[in-house]
């Protein structure tokens, strides 16, 4: 789960990191009031789960409250990579001397949190890593000890020459690791970490992604979820315990298991169609889940055919069959449904489906081919 910059900043402040103040506005008038309160130059920043805010014009400097209002008017409601900006952060402008990058993320290969720092901040770090890897210093943290003082120093020493700056940055690096661990994060990033002409080191931007598997034990982090930044269908899917990602095609897919769900989408493409979604109904499915899945799929107006691909292992085919029948009784499903069921309780499932007037396939290729044909307008 991604959280917004202002939320990540709250986590950073709680860990002791020097983050300049800032307040959230949802209207231009609020932005004006906040800016007037700070006096002087402020920055108005779009709060949206997307990179490239600056390039899209979502981050603007305002020399007074009137200009802050003007900028907020322009930014609120702006579309950045398909997401509508609902909130802006208004924060006093800092006097920036240098910009560095400090980030920590869960490294799959090292199987531990790994820091990346660079004196080249304020730019796309993936680009720096690719073009000039010598400008980046990396350190993998042993999860048994956390980041040790000399390790934080070693990272900070790569950023600055001035011992006073190194000392402040070492502290921030250790605090960032605390924020990362205490938030159950998979990534935490300060870009840029600035120095001011007064010799202070501050985090003026903040980015954080949370490991979804942590949320059950971190209600304070779960409360930061912004459902307005997700399609309504994905919110509904999560509440129903389904894993769903909306795509742009017209073949609705309902599959058990993530790997098979992806392979099914790929096969739709192989046969010349376009999948409308990724949907994993999960392991121990009950009929209610199938009903919810069908409601979600049919809420997408692009869907012209619905395809079930179920390989029963833990999932019992008869449960899915009952769900399909129940859903078609309960809601009006426009597009045609084609079904492939095999594995646990397959015979029982086929009986339930044929009694209800459905026919089912046993081959994955056959059912996908049929669904693509139906979506294309064939009979």
Nearer to another protein (CB atom), residue 92 or residue 146? 146
**Cα–Cα distance between 136 and 117 in angstroms, integer?**
6
Position among 142, 220, 351, 355 found at the interface with another protein (CB under 8 A): 142
Position among 96, 181, 240, 376 found at the interface with another protein (CB under 8 A): 181
Asked if 197 is part of the footprint of another protein (rule: CB under 8 A), the reply reads: no
What b/e string do you get for 225-256 counting C-beta neighbours within 10 Å, with b at 16 or more? bbeebbeebbebbeebebebebbebbbbbbbb
Quote the least distance from Cβ 354 to another protein, whole Å: 22
Largest CA distance in the chain: 79
Position among 170, 256, 285, 345 found at the interface with another protein (CB under 8 A): 256
Which is catalytic among the residues 32, 38, 99, 101? 101
**Containing H/E element for 59?**
strand 59-62
Position among 97, 211, 326, 373 found at the interface with another protein (CB under 8 A): 211
Provide the 3-class DSSP secondary structure of residue 219. helix
Question: Where are any strands of DSSP class E within 119-206?
Answer: 136-140, 185-196, 201-203
Residue 6 is a catalytic residue: no
Residue 101 is a catalytic residue: yes
Quote the least distance from Cβ 89 to another protein, whole Å: 22
Nearer to another protein (CB atom), residue 149 or residue 313? 313
Contact 321, 354 (CB under 8 A): no
**Cα–Cα distance between 154 and 232 in angstroms, integer?**
46
**Cα–Cα distance between 6 and 10 in angstroms, integer?**
6
Asked if 263 is part of the footprint of another protein (rule: CB under 8 A), the reply reads: yes
Report the catalytic residues. Answer: 101, 189
Residues in touch with another protein (CB under 8 A): 106, 108-109, 111-113, 126, 142-144, 181, 184, 186, 211-214, 216-217, 243, 245, 247, 255-263, 265-270, 275, 278, 280, 283-284, 311-315, 342-344, 364-365
């Amino acid at each position: 789960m991604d959280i917004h910059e202002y939320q990540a900043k709250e986590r950073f402040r709680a860990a002791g990191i020097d983050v300049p103040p800032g307040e959230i506005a949802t209207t231009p008038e609020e932005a004006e009031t906040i800016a007037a309160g700070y006096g002087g130059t402020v920055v108005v920043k779009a709060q949206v789960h997307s990179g490239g805010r600056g390039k899209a014009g979502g981050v603007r400097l305002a020399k007074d409250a009137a200009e802050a209002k003007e900028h907020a008017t322009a930014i609120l409601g702006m579309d950045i990579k398909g997401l509508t900006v609902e909130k802006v952060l208004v924060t006093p402008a800092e006097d920036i001397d240098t910009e560095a990058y400090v980030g920590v993320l869960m490294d799959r290969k090292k199987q531990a949190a790994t820091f990346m720092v660079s004196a080249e901040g304020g730019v796309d770090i993936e680009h720096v890593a690719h073009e000039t890897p010598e400008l980046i210093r990396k350190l993998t943290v042993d999860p048994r000890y956390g980041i040790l003082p000399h390790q934080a120093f070693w990272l900070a020493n790569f950023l600055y020459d001035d011992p006073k700056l190194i000392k402040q940055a070492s502290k921030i690096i250790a605090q960032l690791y605390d924020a990362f661990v205490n938030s159950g994060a998979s990534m935490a990033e300060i870009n840029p970490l600035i120095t001011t002409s007064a010799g202070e080191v501050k985090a003026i931007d903040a980015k954080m992604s949370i490991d979804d598997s942590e949320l059950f034990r971190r209600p304070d982090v779960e409360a930061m979820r912004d459902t307005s930044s997700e399609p309504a269908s994905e919110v509904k899917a999560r509440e129903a315990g389904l894993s769903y990602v909306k795509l742009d095609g017209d073949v609705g897919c309902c599959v058990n298991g993530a790997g098979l769900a992806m392979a099914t989408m790929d096969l739709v493409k192989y046969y010349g169609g376009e999948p409308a979604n990724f949907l994993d109904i999960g392991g121990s499915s009950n009929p209610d889940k199938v009903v919810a899945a069908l409601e979600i799929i049919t809420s997408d107006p692009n869907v012209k055919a619905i395809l079930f691909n179920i390989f029963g292992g833990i999932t019992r085919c008869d449960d899915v069959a009952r769900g399909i029948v129940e859903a078609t009784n309960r809601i009006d499903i426009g597009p045609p449904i084609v079904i492939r069921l095999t594995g646990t309780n397959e015979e029982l499932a086929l009986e339930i489906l044929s009694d209800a007037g459905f026919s089912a396939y046993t081959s994955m290729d056959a059912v996908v081919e049929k669904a693509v044909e139906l979506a294309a307008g064939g009979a």
